[in-house]
């Protein structure tokens, strides 16, 4: 739905009034177009010590005609990449200030800040090292809140041995695919694989893959289907029979197939596997179908409680058993779940929904440590959308909706495509070392976590 406030404050007169009153003025975000340059401007690379990750990234960017700088000079920067993987003591953090202070001043509209580090706790016994590594999160999240003009700041924690597997994450964060992702921590190589292949085409990274998307008839699910198809996948669109017409439209639009199915059915997983046999199996599963039945907990009856948990959580556990069995997800496949910021921060009137969406995070954390899945190189990650402009949020009372839109670092709601792009990044083979992540797509929402 349209964001009237944004249109108003971005009109010539509205902009003057908003400026005078100190009102937030959301910038239209830079979203991805196939064929777009990796980043729309030079990249400042800096760091501490030998900065090995920055050196690697610099080499990749240079081969793709991106201008790489060690000093901003008079340039208007597209991004600042700061490699703090070698910080050891609190004094080393001065390197962050020394690079970011001039870098942020030179950063252009829709700029990107990417901070690189090592996981705070990776078996060492040095509290100062843990402190200084964790400090990177504080720096990144604060920078995200300081940026203007549609800029974002994110932290990537790269485990030892996974330095060669960061390209998909860096590309995602530099591009318009991550327009509504800010203040987040990504891990590469924390569990599962530490290496990743490079796709034939970064513009069609899902070429030849078979992707199943539940709840694909509308909203975020339809956007996921669109993005997966754009990126080269054959998409199997799943939704309830009552949404059959809308489902068929989505499937026809993208050259995919429609499968009418209630995900809570006992045999839902088996029916998906059976449907996909004609394509020789499944590479990607996106568990997106979800419902809300909001009420204060004191007024929540058993039916509201059960139905939300059944659709949003239990169905996933049930389907995964079949999807991970014979004829289901192939080795090297990717499972992506759709959680919610409500599952992280909780939400008044959503105890049932928050239980289901927090439960999804528990599923990801557990599956990411399963040795069996690691042996099959299957990744499991989740997105946790914040305020996204869909029919679900259009039904909110006006005041709640306006608050949801504004209280984030980008002062606007996200679009379904923003969630879809993050899911498509998780679903790439080039993200083989990205496992067990829960990334919020929330414009760095200020409420809750």
Ligand X SMILES: NC(=O)c1ccc[n+]([C@@H]2O[C@H](COP(=O)([O-])OP(=O)(O)OC[C@H]3O[C@@H](n4cnc5c(N)ncnc54)[C@H](O)[C@@H]3O)[C@@H](O)[C@H]2O)c1
- Determine which residue in the list 388, 430, 434, 438 makes contact with ligand X, applying CB under 6 A: 388
- Complex with ligand X: residue 303 or 371, whichever CB lies closer: 303
- Determine which residue in the list 95, 347, 393, 444 makes contact with ligand X, applying CB under 6 A: 393
Tell me how far apart the alpha carbons of residues 119 and 130 are, in angstroms, rounded to a whole number.
8
| Binding window for ligand X (CB under 6 A); candidates: 6-14, 23-31, 137-145, 282-290 | 282-290
Tell me how far apart the alpha carbons of residues 383 and 324 are, in angstroms, rounded to a whole number.
20
Tell me how far apart the alpha carbons of residues 286 and 382 are, in angstroms, rounded to a whole number.
9
Cβ within 8 Å of residue 314, ≥6 positions away: 264
Taking CB under 6 A as the rule, does residue 392 contact ligand X? yes
Cβ within 8 Å of residue 397, ≥6 positions away: none
Tell me how far apart the alpha carbons of residues 91 and 160 are, in angstroms, rounded to a whole number.
23
* Beta carbon of residue 19, minimum distance to ligand X (angstroms, whole number): 29
Tell me how far apart the alpha carbons of residues 153 and 168 are, in angstroms, rounded to a whole number.
16
Residue 357: which region, alpha, beta or left (left: phi > 0; alpha: psi -120 to 50)?
A: alpha
Taking CB under 6 A as the rule, does residue 264 contact ligand X? yes
Over its C-alpha atoms, the chain yields an Rg (Å, rounded) of: 22
Taking CB under 6 A as the rule, does residue 390 contact ligand X? yes
- Complex with ligand X: residue 93 or 442, whichever CB lies closer: 442
Taking CB under 6 A as the rule, does residue 385 contact ligand X? yes
- Complex with ligand X: residue 240 or 273, whichever CB lies closer: 240
Tokens encoding 42: 């030079």
CB atoms near residue 214 (< 10 Å): 28
- Determine which residue in the list 262, 294, 365, 402 makes contact with ligand X, applying CB under 6 A: 262
- Complex with ligand X: residue 187 or 288, whichever CB lies closer: 288
Q: What angle do CA 350, 356, 360 make, to 5 degrees?
A: 135
- Determine which residue in the list 152, 191, 288, 408 makes contact with ligand X, applying CB under 6 A: 288
Taking CB under 6 A as the rule, does residue 311 contact ligand X? yes
- Determine which residue in the list 150, 290, 333, 445 makes contact with ligand X, applying CB under 6 A: 290
Taking CB under 6 A as the rule, does residue 364 contact ligand X? no
Residue 74 · residue 4 · CB < 8 Å: no
β-pairing, 234-239 vs 210-214, is parallel
* Beta carbon of residue 344, minimum distance to ligand X (angstroms, whole number): 10
| Residue 425 falls in the annotated catalytic set | no
Tokens encoding 49: 């010590």
DSSP-assigned states of every residue in 103-132? HHHHEEEEEEEEEEE--S-SS---HHHHHH
Taking CB under 6 A as the rule, does residue 291 contact ligand X? yes
Taking CB under 6 A as the rule, does residue 289 contact ligand X? yes
Give the per-residue contact string, 203-242, with ligand X (x = CB under 6 A; - = no).
-----------xx-xxxxx-----------------xx--
- Complex with ligand X: residue 193 or 308, whichever CB lies closer: 308
- Determine which residue in the list 140, 320, 340, 379 makes contact with ligand X, applying CB under 6 A: 340
By CB under 6 A, name the binding residues for ligand X: 214-215, 217-221, 239-240, 243, 262-264, 288-291, 311, 338, 340, 385, 387-388, 390-393
Q: What residues are labeled active site? A: 353
């Amino acid at each position: 739905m349209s964001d009237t406030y944004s249109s108003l404050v971005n009109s010539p007169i509205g902009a003057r009034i908003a400026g005078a009153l100190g009102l937030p003025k959301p910038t239209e975000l830079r979203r991805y177009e196939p064929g777009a340059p990796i980043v729309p401007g030079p990249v400042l690379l800096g760091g501490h010590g030998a900065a090995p990750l920055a050196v690697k990234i610099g080499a990749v960017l240079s081969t793709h005609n991106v201008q790489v700088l060690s000093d901003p000079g008079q340039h208007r920067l597209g991004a600042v990449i700061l490699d703090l993987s070698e910080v050891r003591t609190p004094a080393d953090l001065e390197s962050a200030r020394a690079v970011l202070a001039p870098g942020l001043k030179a950063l252009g509209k829709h700029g990107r800040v990417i901070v690189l580090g090592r996981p705070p706790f990776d078996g060492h016994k040095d509290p100062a090292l843990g402190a200084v590594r964790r400090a990177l999160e504080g720096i990144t999240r604060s920078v995200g809140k300081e940026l203007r003009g549609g800029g974002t700041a994110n932290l990537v924690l790269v485990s030892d041995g996974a330095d060669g597997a960061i390209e998909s994450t860096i590309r995602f964060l530099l591009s318009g695919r991550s327009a509504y992702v800010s203040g987040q921590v990504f891990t590469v190589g924390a569990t599962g694989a530490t290496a990743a292949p490079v796709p034939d085409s970064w513009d069609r990274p899902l070429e030849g893959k078979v992707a199943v998307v539940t709840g694909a008839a509308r909203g975020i699910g339809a956007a996921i289907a669109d993005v997966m198809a754009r990126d080269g996948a054959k998409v199997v669109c799943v939704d309830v029979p009552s949404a059959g017409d809308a489902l068929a439209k989505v499937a026809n639009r993208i050259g995919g197939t429609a499968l009418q199915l209630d995900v809570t059915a006992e045999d839902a997983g088996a029916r998906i596997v059976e449907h996909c046999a004609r394509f020789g199996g499944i590479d990607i599963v996106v568990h997106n179908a979800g419902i809300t039945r909001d009420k204060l907990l004191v007024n929540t009856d058993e039916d509201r409680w059960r139905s939300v948990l059944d659709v949003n959580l239990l169905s996933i556990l049930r389907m995964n058993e079949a999807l991970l069995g014979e004829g289901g997800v192939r080795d090297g496949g990717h499972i992506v779940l759709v959680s919610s910021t409500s599952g992280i921060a909780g939400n008044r009137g959503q105890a049932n929904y928050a239980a289901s969406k927090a439960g999804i995070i528990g599923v990801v954390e557990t599956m990411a440590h399963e040795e069996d899945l690691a042996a099959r190189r299957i990744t499991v990650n989740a997105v946790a959308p914040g305020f996204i402009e869909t029919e679900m949020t259009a039904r909110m009372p006006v005041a709640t909706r306006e608050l949801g839109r504004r209280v984030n670092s980008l002062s606007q709601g996200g679009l379904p495509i923003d969630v879809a792009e993050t899911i498509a990044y998780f679903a790439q083979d080039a993200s083989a070392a990205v496992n067990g992540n829960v990334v919020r797509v929330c414009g760095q929402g200020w409420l809750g976590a």
